[in-house]
Structure 1
Amino acid sequence: MSERLIRGVLFDLDGTLADTAPDLGGALNRLRVEHGLAELPAASLRPHTSAGARGLIGAGFGVTPGDERYPLLAERFLALYESALCVETQLFEGMGEVLTRLEQLAIPWGVVTNKASRFTLPLMRELGLHERATSIVSGDSVPAPKPDPASLKLAASQLGVEAAECLYVGDDERDIEAARAAGMSPVVAAFGYLGCARPHAEWGADHTIHHPLELLTLL
């Protein structure tokens, strides 16, 4: 895989391109306070961030999507998050330099996330990236989100490159599964959230990076 010509780079959003955990965790803690519960430490919520509302509500309330309480909790959580989605969120250290270098090399880049577009697009604008990204594919841009490969294939077509010529960088096992299914070269962002399941060394990625700038060595 390392001998592939890389003509496009795609990123997961939460925990890969940007550190969104402070604002997602903040929304969860505001929801807990509304229910008369104490706030949880940010560090304890961080690993659950890539799983979005499902992961954070599970961590904060012990409630799964099959629970009758889940829909209302999720609706309120998302409303709280939407009202303050880019207060403390920022690009991971070095990621800005990576994007600039990709642009200098005329390598188009984009974002493929399971986050709904009502959050993705405003967040990308707040980060100053909306006009720079060649592709922004959200969870509701396709019928099935990751690990289904449809969103990655759509993004590759928007970049104007073959899937086999793309790197996909993500911090969750479903990112690696989706990249593999799409025919892309999967890269683990080990600086991200990494979830709470299997160790990332067992995900079967082609590469692992521990800092965003390491991505440049794969081009």
Structure 2
Amino acid sequence: MKKAVLFDLDGTLADTAADFIRIIQNICREVGHPVVSADAIRAQVSEGARAMVQLVYPELSQDNPTFLKYRQQFLDIYEQHVVVDTNLFEGMYPLLEMLETANIPWGIVTNKPRYLTEKLLSELKLDQRCAVLVCPEDVKKTKPDPEPMFLAANILNISPTDIIYVGDHPRDIDAGRHANMLTILAAYGYLPPNMKDDLKAWHADVIVQNVEQLHTEIAKQIS
């Protein structure tokens, strides 16, 4: 029986793409660049702010000072509008309630900066319910390295082998696997376009196509 569940944030626990789409498309219009499609933006959400800005300014290298200025501008806008259209994926609230009723702690291990993650969780009223939160600032090496997973397990005082990790990116599955957690691939999330045709190659223990399947699988693992 598993004793805790950890989630990736963007594309796994929370459906944050709509806010990224709105912001990036507005920036495109403001600067007179071609408007990036919603699908292209959604596919890059898990890659972070640099990937978002690169969609608007593909001609700039990511170490260019101008690019870094645009990245900070994007982060400033996103911080002020982090939860406009964002919410948990449909069915996720009942899943969290099921875990809490069963006294199974749940938490988040994300590569999203802490200040943005904490604001998002606060606005969704999840900050007091989340048993552990591990962000990039908390570790020397981020996912796909297993260090964040080991830190979360240590904070929970639960062996990694007794924990489920759910994610929608190969780095999530790699981090969970290398920490000897049971890994679940959230195929409903923001899958990298070049990696979504062969999900078995990710070597997750379980693949789910929607939150209903995720709920069923987790219920089976904790009972």
Paired position in structure 2 for 1:20: 16
Q: Judging by fraction of residues, say which structure has more helix.
A: 2
Within-5 A mapping of 1:29-44? 29-44=25-40
Q: Work out the CA distance in 2 between the residues paired with 1:140 and 1:27.
A: 25
Residue of structure 1 equivalent to 2:138: 141
1:58 pairs with 2:54: yes
How many residue pairs get aligned? The number is 215
- The equivalences for 1:156-195 within 5 A come to 156-195=153-192
The equivalent residue for 1:110 is 107
Name the % identity: 38
Single out whichever of 27-36 and 192-201 deviates more from structure 2. Answer: 27-36
Q: Counterpart of 2:137 in 1: which secondary structure?
A: coil
The answer as to whether partners of 1:134 and 1:159 remain within 8 angstroms in 2 is: yes
- Higher mean Cα deviation, 123-132 or 154-163? 154-163
Per the normalisation by structure 2, the TM-score is 0.90
Structure 2, gaps ≥5 residues long:
none
Is the Cα–Cα contact under 8 Å of residues 57 and 64 in structure 1 kept in the other structure?
no
Tell whether 2:44 aligns with 1:48: yes
Residue in 2 aligned with 1:76? 73
One-letter amino acid of the structure 1 residue matched with residue 180 of structure 2:
G
Give the counterpart of 1:119 among 106, 116, 119: 116
Structure 2 CA distance, aligned partners of 1:198 and 1:6? 28
1:9 corresponds, among 5, 8, 33, to: 5
- 2:93 pairs, out of 91, 96, 103, with 96
What amino acid sits opposite 1:8 in the alignment? A
Which has the higher mean CA deviation after the structures are superposed, 13-22 or 154-163? 154-163
SS in 2 for 1:69: helix
When the two structures are superposed, what TM-score results if normalisation uses the length of structure 1?
A: 0.92
Indicate if the aligned counterparts of 1:109 and 1:159 stay in contact, CA closer than 8 A: no
Q: Which amino acid aligns with 1:187?
A: I
C-alpha root-mean-square deviation of aligned residues, in Å? Answer: 1.5
